[in-house]
Amino acid sequence: MPQVKPMEGNQAVAEAMRQINPDVVAAYPITPSTEVVQTFAQFVADGEVDTNFVAVESEHSAMSACTAAAAAGGRVMNATSSAGLALMWEILYITASLRMPVILTVVNRALSGNLNIHCDHSDTMGARDAGWIQIYAENVQESYDNLIQAVAIGEQMDVRLPVMSCLDGFLVSHSYELLQVEDDEAVRDFVGSYQPRYPLLDVANPLTMGPLDLYDFYFEHKRDQWAAYEPAKQAIIDVGQRFDEQFGRSYGLFEEYQLDDAEIAIVALGSMAGTAKDAVESLRAEGVKAGLLKLRVFRPFPAEELAAALSGLEAVAICDRAASYGGAGGPLYAEVTSALYVAGASVPAINCIYGLGGRQIAPDEIINIYRDLERVAEEGQPDQPLEFIGVRSFDKEEHADKYAF
Amino acid sequence: MARLQELAERPTALTGGHRLCPGCGEPIVVRQVLMSTDDPVIAASCTGCLEVSTTIFPYTAWDIPWIHIAFENAAATIAGIEAMYKALKTKAEKGQPLLDYIDPDADYKFVAFAGDGGTYDIGIQSLSGAAERGHDFLYVCLNNEAYMNTGIQRSSATPMGANTTTTPAGSVIPGKRKHRKDLTAIMAAHDIPYVAQSIPGRWRDLTTKAARGFEVDGPAFINVLTPCPLGWRCEPALTPEISQLAVDTCLWPLYEVDHGEWKLNYTPKEKKPIEEYLELQGRFRHLFRDEKGEEVRKRMQEFVDYKWEQLRERCGEE
């Protein structure tokens, strides 16, 4: 029988890993994902899984060993955050290029500097072009559900891509919620047994992997890789439906919350969407036609589907928990507005950068974003679409003592 | 121990047709290592000459499973493969069916080939970590004492005095100013089952050591001084002889550390002066031009003498 238990996000992830029972986990500790690894290490120590757990000396070696272990032919998982993901950077691209379905939990955390251990999406947003599928969770239950689905998605034969299953550091990873834990057998049936493809351990059919690949073939290989993301999108939809049929919780590329008849809406990733739902309810009670689009899948980016869902709005606020310094707004803003443009949808769009380094976002602040949207809906696209939410501005003269020069 | 003829008749896992330079020591070492075991072998390489010259797509010179991921991670790569093999074997021991492409009766071997840049410098963390964790693998450093693939830049394996493109011999500075580090001793300090030094010019020494490296249960490290005619600016035909001169000058002693026991494998009848080794290589030519070069050679000889006595003591030689 499925059981409902209070669990933190990290524990929920470790629990899903226990049920999935991967062959190899090669991991390194980093706040706030450490607990995933140490909880899982205890499962290994207690013989609850068959996994060969490799406690490597760095994240670079973690992702190298994970990629190689997957190439050898088996199911591989790992967890990291922030600087850990950054140290894996070089290998992330190679994992995807070799088409190894490594499943990586990323507990999102700010990148240095300055040093900060709390949530934002700078880490995974920086890795967005590495070729990994990226799925974001709003809460503990989704963190658990997404990880189980990630295995089925990444390992599908026409996909064969690595997957980052993302949850917000501390806000989800260290928050207790009631989690519905499915039966071990049901989870194992859902993910199925690992189907190897060109395993390196097949010594009778020796294969050369990761050769030198120059201008005469590299480009074709990259184009072939590009072609995997359309089936990946379909796999995410199909696996989400199958998950719904088996466990009764439905998942797609994104969740539309009060969006059908909305005039103004927010687009957000991760735990902020939960707070935004409360804000939408407050505004709806006032008669404001507010809605929310919670993006679940950032890679492959569902540009057409997203533009179709947003095209009827009078104004939209795209909320980024990451900055793209010197860029045209945050990464989510750039991609959503690009999708709207290509679809010919002329929706005024503002970019709200919020929550960097774990700065909380309160319901009132989200309500204020909707208030701004009401104005934008009336006045049209503002000259300056970028807003920083919840950040203080110091008057240099008033606070002269805080400035050294 | 196989005889030379038996070794020569074994199928070669690194076929001809690769694009390594004439006289390159690397394929000589790789073949000798791979012919030292009858068990199935899976190989990993770091980025470098061996990788780019044996695998340009769509060709490969490898007749065994082979993988390259990146430069600094040959040890983590081979560790990941070994970890998966162990995981699948352990599951089979618990009664789960072993995947049909894995031979249940065979004892698979795992070997990493990496240059000195990928081992002494950028890959030392990965190597140290894999050694400490005790993965069952053999790591062979194809040590040609500089970054040859990128065009002869110095590494921490480059000996004092060598002219490289980042320690060029100039009118003021006579090549590399510091001695190389003793990575073999550093690996011995990991207390792993087997550590050794060898050269391509003594097949019996190298194949015996490779066989031992494959045989022991746990990490093994063999540091092979591997001449590079391009980077050393020496005669391609002299690769075995030059590597032998490195041994006869005691600049690269042949020794092993088997489960903590240090053993000198070869003592030259007459310890030759390092000049006999240096003068065959263009990378040291500037050391024979003036007094400054003579001073460098003197310091190099002192260092060789010091290291040789240190090694003899460790090996319990009288």
**Total CB pairs under 8 A between chain A and B:** 178
Tens digits of per-residue pLDDT, A168-199? 999 999 999 999 999 999 999 999 999 999 99
Residues 45-104 of A with CB under 8 A from B: 50-52, 54-58, 60-62, 64-74, 76, 90-91, 94, 98
Residue A80 contacts residue A33 (beta carbons within 8 Å): yes
Q: What angle do CA A294, A22, B132 make, to 5 degrees?
A: 115
Contact A50 B68 (CB under 8 A): no
How many alpha carbons lie under 13 Å from residue A44 in its C-beta half-sphere?
19
pLDDT confidence of residue A296: 98
Instruction: Using the predicted structure, report yes or no on whether residue A78 has a pLDDT greater than 70.
Output: yes
Residue A172 contacts residue A9 (beta carbons within 8 Å): yes
Cβ contacts of B187 within 8 Å, gap of 6 or more:
B127, B131, B195, B221, B223
Tens digits of per-residue pLDDT, A334-361? 999 999 999 999 999 999 999 999 999 9
Q: What angle do CA A129, A175, A186 make, to 5 degrees?
A: 75
Binning pLDDT at 50, 70 and 90, where does residue A404 land?
Answer: low
Q: What is the mean pLDDT of residues A204-209?
A: 97
Q: What is the mean pLDDT of residues A23-29?
A: 98
Q: What is the mean pLDDT of residues B154-174?
A: 97
Interatomic CA distance for residues A32 and A29, integer angstroms: 9
What's domain B10-314's architecture?
3-Layer(aba) Sandwich (3.40)
pLDDT confidence of residue A402: 66
pLDDT confidence of residue B100: 84
Q: How far is CA A384 from CA A323, A349, A369, A374, in A?
A: 16, 10, 15, 16
**Longest alpha-carbon distance in chain B:** 72
pLDDT confidence of residue A52: 98
- Facing B99 at nearest CB: one of A57, A73, A98: A73
Q: Helices B239-248 and B25-34, interaxial angle, to 10°? A: 80
Instruction: Using the predicted structure, report yes or no on whether residue A38 has a pLDDT greater than 90.
Output: yes
Binning pLDDT at 50, 70 and 90, where does residue B96 land?
Answer: confident
Strand, helix or coil for residue B174 = strand
Residue A364 contacts residue A390 (beta carbons within 8 Å): no
Tens digits of per-residue pLDDT, A262-308? 999 999 999 999 999 999 999 999 999 999 999 999 999 999 999 99
Type and span of the H or E element at A235: helix A229-247
ipTM over 0.95: yes
Percent of chain A with pLDDT over 70: 99
Residue B195 contacts residue B184 (beta carbons within 8 Å): yes
pLDDT confidence of residue B318: 79
The residue extents of the domains of chain A are: 3-192+210-247, 255-389
Q: Helices A140-155 and A229-247, interaxial angle, to 10°? A: 130
Search chain B and give the residue with CA nearest A27.
Answer: B80
Residue A318 contacts residue A333 (beta carbons within 8 Å): yes
Q: What is the mean pLDDT of residues B285-306?
A: 97
Interatomic CA distance for residues B72 and A304, integer angstroms: 40
pLDDT confidence of residue A399: 74
Instruction: Using the predicted structure, report yes or no on whether residue A405 has a pLDDT greater than 60.
Output: no
Classify domain A255-389 at the CATH topology level.
Rossmann fold (3.40.50)
Contact B64 A206 (CB under 8 A): yes
- Facing A204 at nearest CB: one of B101, B108, B130: B101
Instruction: Using the predicted structure, report yes or no on whether residue A34 has a pLDDT greater than 70.
Output: yes
Binning pLDDT at 50, 70 and 90, where does residue A166 land?
Answer: very high
Residue B106 backbone phi and psi in degrees, to 5 = -85, 155
Alpha helix locations (H) across A248-317? 272-286, 303-310
Superfamily of domain A3-192+210-247: Thiamin diphosphate (ThDP)-binding fold, Pyr/PP domains (3.40.50.970)
